[in-house]
Chains A and B, each alone.
Chain A
Amino acid sequence: MALQFKTCGIVAVTALTALAVLTGGASAEAVKPGDVKITDGQLAKSLTGKAGDPVAGKKTFVGRKLGNCLACHVNKDTSKQQFHGEVGPALDGAASRYEPAALRAIIVNSKQVFGEQTLMPGFYREAGLNRVNKKFKGKTILSAQQVEDVLAYVLTLKK
Protein backbone atom coordinates (compact mmCIF):
# COMPACT_ATOMS: atom_id res chain seq x y z
CA MET A 1 0.00 0.00 0.00
CA ALA A 2 0.74 3.61 -0.26
CA LEU A 3 3.38 4.42 2.23
CA GLN A 4 4.21 0.85 2.94
CA PHE A 5 5.78 1.07 6.35
CA LYS A 6 4.99 -2.58 6.95
CA THR A 7 7.42 -4.19 4.54
CA CYS A 8 11.17 -4.01 4.31
CA GLY A 9 11.57 -5.39 7.82
CA ILE A 10 15.16 -6.19 7.11
CA VAL A 11 16.05 -2.69 6.09
CA ALA A 12 14.26 -1.36 9.15
CA VAL A 13 15.99 -3.70 11.55
CA THR A 14 19.39 -3.06 10.04
CA ALA A 15 18.93 0.65 10.15
CA LEU A 16 17.68 0.58 13.72
CA THR A 17 20.60 -1.54 14.85
CA ALA A 18 23.01 0.76 13.10
CA LEU A 19 21.31 3.68 14.75
CA ALA A 20 21.59 2.21 18.25
CA VAL A 21 25.31 1.68 17.73
CA LEU A 22 25.87 5.09 16.21
CA THR A 23 23.90 7.27 18.53
CA GLY A 24 24.98 5.64 21.76
CA GLY A 25 23.82 7.96 24.54
CA ALA A 26 23.53 11.01 22.32
CA SER A 27 19.74 10.88 22.02
CA ALA A 28 19.36 12.20 25.57
CA GLU A 29 20.83 15.51 24.43
CA ALA A 30 18.75 15.81 21.26
CA VAL A 31 16.69 18.96 20.80
CA LYS A 32 13.06 18.10 21.61
CA PRO A 33 10.63 18.48 18.71
CA GLY A 34 8.76 21.18 20.63
CA ASP A 35 11.95 23.20 21.06
CA VAL A 36 12.92 23.25 17.40
CA LYS A 37 12.77 26.77 15.95
CA ILE A 38 12.71 27.14 12.18
CA THR A 39 13.29 30.77 11.16
CA ASP A 40 12.89 31.96 7.57
CA GLY A 41 12.91 28.39 6.36
CA GLN A 42 16.25 27.68 8.02
CA LEU A 43 17.38 25.46 10.84
CA ALA A 44 21.11 25.89 11.21
CA LYS A 45 21.69 24.05 14.48
CA SER A 46 22.10 20.28 14.44
CA LEU A 47 19.39 18.41 16.37
CA THR A 48 21.97 16.24 18.11
CA GLY A 49 25.29 18.04 17.88
CA LYS A 50 26.63 14.88 16.32
CA ALA A 51 27.57 14.64 12.65
CA GLY A 52 25.09 12.75 10.51
CA ASP A 53 26.09 9.48 8.87
CA PRO A 54 25.21 9.42 5.17
CA VAL A 55 25.33 5.62 4.96
CA ALA A 56 22.81 5.17 7.77
CA GLY A 57 20.94 8.12 6.26
CA LYS A 58 20.53 6.39 2.93
CA LYS A 59 18.97 3.37 4.66
CA THR A 60 16.54 5.62 6.46
CA PHE A 61 15.80 7.45 3.22
CA VAL A 62 14.89 4.21 1.44
CA GLY A 63 13.29 2.25 4.32
CA ARG A 64 9.54 2.04 4.04
CA LYS A 65 9.05 2.04 7.80
CA LEU A 66 11.54 4.87 8.26
CA GLY A 67 11.81 7.94 6.02
CA ASN A 68 10.21 6.26 3.02
CA CYS A 69 11.32 9.30 1.04
CA LEU A 70 11.11 7.18 -2.11
CA ALA A 71 7.33 7.05 -1.68
CA CYS A 72 7.30 10.52 -3.19
CA HIS A 73 10.75 11.26 -4.61
CA VAL A 74 13.12 9.76 -7.16
CA ASN A 75 16.86 10.18 -7.27
CA LYS A 76 19.49 8.50 -9.40
CA ASP A 77 21.60 7.25 -6.51
CA THR A 78 18.80 4.94 -5.33
CA SER A 79 17.76 3.81 -8.82
CA LYS A 80 18.38 0.17 -7.89
CA GLN A 81 15.48 0.34 -5.45
CA GLN A 82 12.09 -0.74 -6.74
CA PHE A 83 9.31 1.80 -6.90
CA HIS A 84 9.97 5.50 -6.72
CA GLY A 85 7.20 8.00 -6.22
CA GLU A 86 6.38 10.95 -8.43
CA VAL A 87 4.54 13.09 -5.93
CA GLY A 88 7.51 15.29 -5.01
CA PRO A 89 10.35 16.65 -7.16
CA ALA A 90 13.42 14.54 -8.03
CA LEU A 91 16.08 15.02 -5.38
CA ASP A 92 19.10 14.88 -7.67
CA GLY A 93 21.00 18.08 -7.07
CA ALA A 94 18.95 19.05 -3.99
CA ALA A 95 22.18 19.84 -2.12
CA SER A 96 23.14 22.31 -4.84
CA ARG A 97 19.76 24.04 -4.66
CA TYR A 98 19.49 24.41 -0.88
CA GLU A 99 21.75 25.32 2.01
CA PRO A 100 22.17 22.60 4.65
CA ALA A 101 20.15 24.72 7.10
CA ALA A 102 17.24 24.84 4.65
CA LEU A 103 17.40 21.11 3.94
CA ARG A 104 17.32 20.37 7.67
CA ALA A 105 14.27 22.58 8.03
CA ILE A 106 12.54 20.85 5.09
CA ILE A 107 13.06 17.42 6.62
CA VAL A 108 12.13 18.51 10.15
CA ASN A 109 8.92 20.30 9.17
CA SER A 110 8.40 21.07 5.51
CA LYS A 111 5.15 22.92 6.26
CA GLN A 112 7.22 25.72 7.78
CA VAL A 113 9.26 25.98 4.60
CA PHE A 114 6.86 25.31 1.72
CA GLY A 115 3.66 26.35 3.49
CA GLU A 116 0.72 24.51 5.02
CA GLN A 117 -0.42 23.09 1.70
CA THR A 118 2.57 20.89 0.97
CA LEU A 119 1.97 17.17 0.97
CA MET A 120 5.37 16.41 2.43
CA PRO A 121 5.16 15.24 6.04
CA GLY A 122 7.24 16.81 8.79
CA PHE A 123 9.63 14.15 10.02
CA TYR A 124 10.50 15.73 13.37
CA ARG A 125 7.37 17.31 14.73
CA GLU A 126 4.66 16.06 17.05
CA ALA A 127 2.47 19.07 17.73
CA GLY A 128 -0.54 20.29 15.80
CA LEU A 129 -1.47 16.91 14.32
CA ASN A 130 -4.99 15.47 14.10
CA ARG A 131 -6.18 11.97 15.03
CA VAL A 132 -2.75 10.41 15.19
CA ASN A 133 -2.96 6.62 15.55
CA LYS A 134 -2.28 5.53 19.13
CA LYS A 135 0.87 3.67 18.11
CA PHE A 136 2.45 6.91 16.88
CA LYS A 137 0.98 9.46 19.27
CA GLY A 138 3.54 11.85 20.71
CA LYS A 139 6.23 10.37 18.50
CA THR A 140 8.09 11.84 15.56
CA ILE A 141 8.42 9.89 12.31
CA LEU A 142 12.21 9.94 12.60
CA SER A 143 14.47 10.36 15.61
CA ALA A 144 16.72 13.39 15.87
CA GLN A 145 19.76 11.39 14.80
CA GLN A 146 17.87 9.81 11.88
CA VAL A 147 17.05 13.32 10.66
CA GLU A 148 20.72 14.28 10.85
CA ASP A 149 21.67 11.08 9.02
CA VAL A 150 19.11 11.64 6.23
CA LEU A 151 20.34 15.20 5.95
CA ALA A 152 23.92 13.95 5.62
CA TYR A 153 22.75 11.67 2.83
CA VAL A 154 20.75 14.37 1.00
CA LEU A 155 23.83 16.61 1.21
CA THR A 156 25.62 14.09 -1.01
CA LEU A 157 23.05 14.69 -3.78
CA LYS A 158 24.96 17.40 -5.64
CA LYS A 159 24.74 18.38 -9.31
Chain B
Amino acid sequence: MSKRIKVLGFGLTALAMCGLSYSAVVAEPNNNQLMIDGKKITTNVKAPKGSPFEKLYSGWRFRSAETQKLQSDDFENPGFPLVDLGTELWQKVDGSAGKSCASCHNDASKSMKGVRATMPKMHKEIGKVQSLQQHVNYCRTERMGAKAWKWESNQMLGMAAYVGLQSRGMPVNVKIDGPAKAAHDKGKKLYYTRVGQLDMSCAGCHEENFGKMIRADHLSQGQINGFPTYRFKWQKMGSVHRRFKGCMKNIRAKPYKVGSDEFVALELYVASRGKGLSVESPAVRN
Protein backbone atom coordinates (compact mmCIF):
# COMPACT_ATOMS: atom_id res chain seq x y z
CA MET B 1 0.00 0.00 0.00
CA SER B 2 2.51 2.63 1.11
CA LYS B 3 4.74 1.51 -1.73
CA ARG B 4 2.01 2.19 -4.24
CA ILE B 5 1.40 5.66 -2.79
CA LYS B 6 5.07 6.54 -3.04
CA VAL B 7 5.20 5.45 -6.64
CA LEU B 8 2.13 7.47 -7.51
CA GLY B 9 3.46 10.44 -5.57
CA PHE B 10 6.66 10.31 -7.53
CA GLY B 11 4.63 10.19 -10.70
CA LEU B 12 2.80 13.37 -9.75
CA THR B 13 6.00 15.17 -8.87
CA ALA B 14 7.62 14.08 -12.10
CA LEU B 15 4.64 15.32 -14.07
CA ALA B 16 4.65 18.60 -12.20
CA MET B 17 8.28 19.07 -13.15
CA CYS B 18 7.43 18.47 -16.78
CA GLY B 19 4.84 21.21 -16.46
CA LEU B 20 1.81 19.01 -17.09
CA SER B 21 -1.35 19.52 -15.12
CA TYR B 22 -2.40 17.01 -12.48
CA SER B 23 -5.78 16.47 -13.98
CA ALA B 24 -4.05 14.76 -16.88
CA VAL B 25 -2.92 11.90 -14.63
CA VAL B 26 -6.08 9.85 -14.28
CA ALA B 27 -9.58 10.86 -15.02
CA GLU B 28 -11.86 8.55 -16.92
CA PRO B 29 -12.31 4.90 -16.12
CA ASN B 30 -9.71 2.85 -17.97
CA ASN B 31 -10.47 0.53 -20.86
CA ASN B 32 -9.05 -2.70 -19.51
CA GLN B 33 -11.16 -5.84 -19.81
CA LEU B 34 -11.67 -8.30 -17.00
CA MET B 35 -11.30 -12.01 -17.76
CA ILE B 36 -11.31 -14.65 -15.06
CA ASP B 37 -10.61 -18.27 -15.98
CA GLY B 38 -11.15 -17.42 -19.62
CA LYS B 39 -14.58 -16.02 -18.83
CA LYS B 40 -15.49 -12.43 -19.67
CA ILE B 41 -16.74 -10.30 -16.80
CA THR B 42 -18.80 -7.31 -17.94
CA THR B 43 -17.39 -4.20 -16.27
CA ASN B 44 -19.00 -1.68 -18.60
CA VAL B 45 -22.50 -1.73 -19.97
CA LYS B 46 -24.97 0.68 -21.52
CA ALA B 47 -27.09 2.18 -18.76
CA PRO B 48 -30.69 1.01 -18.50
CA LYS B 49 -33.55 3.41 -19.15
CA GLY B 50 -34.05 5.96 -16.40
CA SER B 51 -30.43 5.71 -15.20
CA PRO B 52 -28.62 8.96 -14.42
CA PHE B 53 -25.59 7.50 -16.25
CA GLU B 54 -24.95 6.92 -19.93
CA LYS B 55 -22.70 3.99 -19.21
CA LEU B 56 -22.25 1.93 -16.12
CA TYR B 57 -18.77 1.08 -14.95
CA SER B 58 -17.72 -1.40 -12.33
CA GLY B 59 -15.36 -0.01 -9.68
CA TRP B 60 -12.78 -2.39 -11.20
CA ARG B 61 -12.34 0.04 -14.12
CA PHE B 62 -11.10 2.77 -11.78
CA ARG B 63 -8.42 0.72 -10.07
CA SER B 64 -4.74 0.48 -10.95
CA ALA B 65 -3.54 -2.23 -13.33
CA GLU B 66 -1.85 -3.90 -10.36
CA THR B 67 -5.06 -4.17 -8.35
CA GLN B 68 -7.02 -5.20 -11.43
CA LYS B 69 -4.63 -8.05 -12.08
CA LEU B 70 -5.13 -9.53 -8.62
CA GLN B 71 -8.83 -9.90 -9.32
CA SER B 72 -8.26 -11.62 -12.64
CA ASP B 73 -6.60 -14.62 -10.99
CA ASP B 74 -8.36 -16.54 -8.23
CA PHE B 75 -5.02 -17.81 -6.92
CA GLU B 76 -3.84 -14.27 -6.37
CA ASN B 77 -7.18 -12.83 -5.26
CA PRO B 78 -6.74 -12.22 -1.50
CA GLY B 79 -10.48 -12.78 -0.99
CA PHE B 80 -10.21 -16.49 -1.67
CA PRO B 81 -9.17 -17.75 1.77
CA LEU B 82 -12.60 -16.62 3.00
CA VAL B 83 -14.30 -18.23 0.00
CA ASP B 84 -12.61 -21.46 1.13
CA LEU B 85 -14.05 -20.95 4.60
CA GLY B 86 -17.49 -20.43 3.06
CA THR B 87 -17.09 -23.62 1.05
CA GLU B 88 -16.37 -25.56 4.24
CA LEU B 89 -19.22 -23.95 6.18
CA TRP B 90 -21.68 -24.87 3.42
CA GLN B 91 -21.17 -28.53 4.32
CA LYS B 92 -20.83 -28.09 8.06
CA VAL B 93 -23.63 -29.32 10.30
CA ASP B 94 -24.47 -26.69 12.91
CA GLY B 95 -27.36 -26.07 15.34
CA SER B 96 -30.09 -28.08 17.05
CA ALA B 97 -31.68 -29.39 13.82
CA GLY B 98 -28.49 -31.23 12.89
CA LYS B 99 -28.36 -29.69 9.44
CA SER B 100 -25.93 -27.92 7.16
CA CYS B 101 -26.73 -25.54 4.29
CA ALA B 102 -26.12 -28.48 1.95
CA SER B 103 -28.77 -30.57 3.74
CA CYS B 104 -31.44 -28.34 2.18
CA HIS B 105 -29.71 -26.66 -0.77
CA ASN B 106 -27.42 -29.50 -1.96
CA ASP B 107 -24.95 -28.36 -4.57
CA ALA B 108 -24.37 -24.63 -4.22
CA SER B 109 -23.14 -24.31 -7.80
CA LYS B 110 -26.69 -25.17 -8.88
CA SER B 111 -28.94 -23.97 -6.06
CA MET B 112 -27.15 -20.66 -5.44
CA LYS B 113 -26.49 -19.79 -9.06
CA GLY B 114 -28.01 -16.38 -9.79
CA VAL B 115 -28.92 -15.67 -6.17
CA ARG B 116 -26.37 -12.92 -5.58
CA ALA B 117 -27.46 -11.13 -8.78
CA THR B 118 -30.94 -10.55 -7.32
CA MET B 119 -29.93 -9.46 -3.81
CA PRO B 120 -31.18 -7.73 -1.78
CA LYS B 121 -34.66 -9.15 -2.29
CA MET B 122 -37.96 -9.77 -0.56
CA HIS B 123 -37.86 -12.39 2.21
CA LYS B 124 -41.28 -14.01 2.28
CA GLU B 125 -41.28 -15.08 5.92
CA ILE B 126 -39.67 -11.94 7.29
CA GLY B 127 -41.89 -9.83 5.06
CA LYS B 128 -39.24 -7.28 4.10
CA VAL B 129 -36.54 -6.80 1.50
CA GLN B 130 -33.41 -8.31 3.01
CA SER B 131 -29.72 -8.53 2.17
CA LEU B 132 -28.07 -11.86 1.37
CA GLN B 133 -26.67 -11.92 4.91
CA GLN B 134 -30.17 -11.77 6.39
CA HIS B 135 -31.42 -14.55 4.14
CA VAL B 136 -28.48 -16.65 5.37
CA ASN B 137 -29.11 -15.87 9.03
CA TYR B 138 -32.82 -16.70 8.70
CA CYS B 139 -31.88 -20.20 7.54
CA ARG B 140 -29.43 -20.51 10.41
CA THR B 141 -31.74 -19.44 13.21
CA GLU B 142 -35.12 -20.70 11.92
CA ARG B 143 -34.21 -23.77 9.89
CA MET B 144 -31.00 -25.02 11.45
CA GLY B 145 -31.49 -23.93 15.04
CA ALA B 146 -28.03 -22.36 14.89
CA LYS B 147 -26.80 -19.00 16.09
CA ALA B 148 -26.94 -16.03 13.73
CA TRP B 149 -23.57 -14.97 12.39
CA LYS B 150 -22.41 -11.44 13.05
CA TRP B 151 -22.60 -9.20 9.97
CA GLU B 152 -18.88 -8.63 9.54
CA SER B 153 -17.70 -12.02 10.89
CA ASN B 154 -15.39 -14.21 8.82
CA GLN B 155 -18.12 -16.85 8.63
CA MET B 156 -20.69 -14.44 7.22
CA LEU B 157 -18.24 -12.80 4.82
CA GLY B 158 -17.00 -16.21 3.70
CA MET B 159 -20.53 -17.48 3.11
CA ALA B 160 -21.56 -14.30 1.28
CA ALA B 161 -18.47 -14.57 -0.93
CA TYR B 162 -19.02 -18.28 -1.60
CA VAL B 163 -22.68 -17.77 -2.49
CA GLY B 164 -21.73 -14.66 -4.50
CA LEU B 165 -19.14 -16.60 -6.47
CA GLN B 166 -21.83 -18.94 -7.80
CA SER B 167 -23.25 -15.93 -9.72
CA ARG B 168 -19.95 -14.50 -10.90
CA GLY B 169 -20.31 -13.15 -14.43
CA MET B 170 -24.10 -13.01 -14.26
CA PRO B 171 -25.78 -9.62 -14.74
CA VAL B 172 -27.03 -7.79 -11.66
CA ASN B 173 -30.80 -7.72 -11.87
CA VAL B 174 -32.61 -6.80 -8.67
CA LYS B 175 -36.36 -6.50 -8.42
CA ILE B 176 -37.49 -3.00 -7.56
CA ASP B 177 -41.20 -3.13 -8.26
CA GLY B 178 -44.12 -4.65 -6.38
CA PRO B 179 -43.31 -5.28 -2.72
CA ALA B 180 -39.72 -4.07 -3.24
CA LYS B 181 -40.75 -0.62 -4.42
CA ALA B 182 -40.99 0.97 -0.98
CA ALA B 183 -37.44 -0.10 -0.10
CA HIS B 184 -36.14 1.06 -3.47
CA ASP B 185 -37.71 4.49 -3.03
CA LYS B 186 -36.42 4.80 0.50
CA GLY B 187 -32.93 3.89 -0.72
CA LYS B 188 -33.14 6.44 -3.48
CA LYS B 189 -34.06 9.14 -1.03
CA LEU B 190 -31.09 8.26 1.17
CA TYR B 191 -28.79 8.30 -1.87
CA TYR B 192 -29.64 11.89 -2.69
CA THR B 193 -29.86 13.26 0.87
CA ARG B 194 -26.91 15.38 1.95
CA VAL B 195 -25.60 14.38 5.35
CA GLY B 196 -22.76 15.03 7.76
CA GLN B 197 -20.71 18.04 8.67
CA LEU B 198 -19.47 18.12 5.05
CA ASP B 199 -23.07 18.16 3.83
CA MET B 200 -22.67 15.73 0.93
CA SER B 201 -24.74 12.98 -0.63
CA CYS B 202 -23.68 9.75 -2.32
CA ALA B 203 -24.66 11.37 -5.62
CA GLY B 204 -22.31 14.32 -5.08
CA CYS B 205 -19.32 12.03 -5.32
CA HIS B 206 -20.40 8.93 -7.25
CA GLU B 207 -22.87 10.39 -9.73
CA GLU B 208 -21.61 13.91 -10.35
CA ASN B 209 -17.88 13.38 -9.99
CA PHE B 210 -17.00 9.79 -10.84
CA GLY B 211 -13.82 9.57 -12.86
CA LYS B 212 -12.22 12.46 -10.99
CA MET B 213 -9.64 12.39 -8.25
CA ILE B 214 -10.71 13.41 -4.78
CA ARG B 215 -7.31 13.92 -3.23
CA ALA B 216 -5.74 10.41 -3.28
CA ASP B 217 -8.83 8.54 -4.48
CA HIS B 218 -10.12 7.92 -7.96
CA LEU B 219 -13.89 8.24 -7.66
CA SER B 220 -15.93 5.40 -9.15
CA GLN B 221 -19.68 5.17 -9.61
CA GLY B 222 -19.88 3.44 -6.24
CA GLN B 223 -21.26 0.23 -7.75
CA ILE B 224 -21.70 -2.78 -5.49
CA ASN B 225 -21.52 -5.68 -7.95
CA GLY B 226 -18.19 -6.81 -6.44
CA PHE B 227 -19.22 -7.24 -2.81
CA PRO B 228 -18.17 -8.68 -0.50
CA THR B 229 -14.90 -7.12 -1.56
CA TYR B 230 -11.34 -7.61 -0.41
CA ARG B 231 -10.00 -4.16 0.33
CA PHE B 232 -6.31 -3.35 0.95
CA LYS B 233 -7.23 -0.51 3.24
CA TRP B 234 -9.13 -2.96 5.46
CA GLN B 235 -6.57 -5.71 4.99
CA LYS B 236 -9.54 -8.03 4.66
CA MET B 237 -12.86 -8.67 3.05
CA GLY B 238 -15.80 -6.46 3.93
CA SER B 239 -19.51 -6.09 3.26
CA VAL B 240 -21.38 -3.45 1.25
CA HIS B 241 -22.73 -2.03 4.49
CA ARG B 242 -19.23 -1.60 5.88
CA ARG B 243 -18.35 0.37 2.77
CA PHE B 244 -21.46 2.57 3.13
CA LYS B 245 -20.48 3.21 6.74
CA GLY B 246 -17.00 4.28 5.69
CA CYS B 247 -18.27 6.73 3.10
CA MET B 248 -20.66 8.24 5.65
CA LYS B 249 -17.91 8.58 8.24
CA ASN B 250 -15.70 10.32 5.71
CA ILE B 251 -18.23 13.08 5.34
CA ARG B 252 -18.52 13.17 9.13
CA ALA B 253 -22.05 11.79 9.15
CA LYS B 254 -23.54 9.39 11.66
CA PRO B 255 -23.67 6.10 9.74
CA TYR B 256 -26.63 3.75 9.88
CA LYS B 257 -26.03 0.33 11.40
CA VAL B 258 -25.01 -2.67 9.31
CA GLY B 259 -28.15 -4.67 8.58
CA SER B 260 -30.44 -1.69 9.29
CA ASP B 261 -33.52 -1.13 7.12
CA GLU B 262 -31.83 2.04 5.87
CA PHE B 263 -28.73 0.29 4.61
CA VAL B 264 -30.74 -2.58 3.11
CA ALA B 265 -32.83 -0.01 1.24
CA LEU B 266 -29.73 1.86 0.12
CA GLU B 267 -28.16 -1.43 -0.98
CA LEU B 268 -31.21 -2.28 -3.08
CA TYR B 269 -31.25 1.12 -4.73
CA VAL B 270 -27.50 1.15 -5.43
CA ALA B 271 -27.73 -2.42 -6.79
CA SER B 272 -30.46 -1.25 -9.18
CA ARG B 273 -28.10 1.45 -10.47
CA GLY B 274 -25.75 -1.35 -11.55
CA LYS B 275 -28.25 -3.35 -13.56
CA GLY B 276 -26.42 -5.39 -16.20
CA LEU B 277 -22.95 -5.24 -14.68
CA SER B 278 -21.53 -8.67 -13.86
CA VAL B 279 -21.44 -9.96 -10.32
CA GLU B 280 -17.74 -9.93 -9.38
CA SER B 281 -17.79 -11.28 -5.83
CA PRO B 282 -15.22 -11.38 -4.39
CA ALA B 283 -13.77 -8.25 -6.00
CA VAL B 284 -10.45 -6.64 -5.04
CA ARG B 285 -10.24 -2.91 -4.33
CA ASN B 286 -7.77 -0.56 -2.71
Contact = CB atoms under 8 A, between A and B. Distances in A.
B196 A130 contact: yes
B104 to A, nearest CB: 40
Given A2-B247, A3-B250, A82-B9, A87 B195 contact: no
A35 B23 CA distance: 38
A82 B12 contact: yes
Contacts of B219: 87
A133 B196 contact: yes
Interface string A58-75: 000000100010111010
A82 B14 CA distance: 11
Contacts of A130: 193-196, 199, 253
A66 to B, nearest CB: 13
Nearest to B208: A119
Interface string B188-228: 00000111111110001100110011111101000000000
Interface string A86-113: 1100000000000000000000000100
B249 interface: yes
Contact of B214 (A3, A129, A132): A3
Give the size range of A's interface with the partner.
20 to 34
Contacts of A121: 197-200
Nearest to B217: A2
A86 B215 CA distance: 8
B209 A141 contact: no
Nearest to A82: B9
Interface string B162-205: 00000000000000000000000000000001111111100011
B253 A133 contact: yes
B253 A84 contact: no
Contact of B21 (A70, A71, A74): A74
Contacts of B16: 79-80
Interface of A is mostly: loop
A33 to B, nearest CB: 12
Contacts of B8: 82
Contact of A132 (B246, B250, B253): B253
B198 A141 contact: yes
A159 interface: no
A86 B5 CA distance: 18
A87 B209 contact: yes
Contact of B204 (A68, A119, A131): A119
A1 B22 contact: no
Given A82-B9, A132-B252, A133-B253, A122 B199 contact: yes
B250 to A, nearest CB: 4
Most buried by A among B22, B214, B248, B249: B214
B98 to A, nearest CB: 45
B110 interface: no
B224 to A, nearest CB: 17
Given A1-B250, A2-B214, A131-B253, A86 B22 contact: yes
A2 B250 contact: yes
A105 to B, nearest CB: 16
Given A119-B208, A130-B253, A132-B254, A3 B198 contact: yes
A83 interface: yes
B4 interface: no
Contacts of B36: none
Interface of B: 5, 8-9, 12-13, 16, 21-23, 27, 193-200, 204-205, 208-209, 212-217, 219, 233, 246-254
29 contacts: A1-B217, A2-B250, A4-B215, A72-B215, A74-B21, A74-B22, A79-B22, A82-B5, A82-B8, A82-B12, A82-B216, A86-B22, A86-B23, A87-B213, A119-B205, A121-B198, A121-B199, A129-B195, A129-B197, A130-B195, A130-B196, A130-B253, A131-B254, A132-B195, A133-B197, A133-B253, A135-B252, A141-B197, A141-B198
Interface of A: 1-5, 64, 68, 70-72, 74, 79-80, 82-87, 111, 119, 121-122, 129-136, 139, 141
Given A72-B214, A82-B9, 5 more contacts: A1-B217, A5-B252, A70-B215, A84-B12, A130-B199
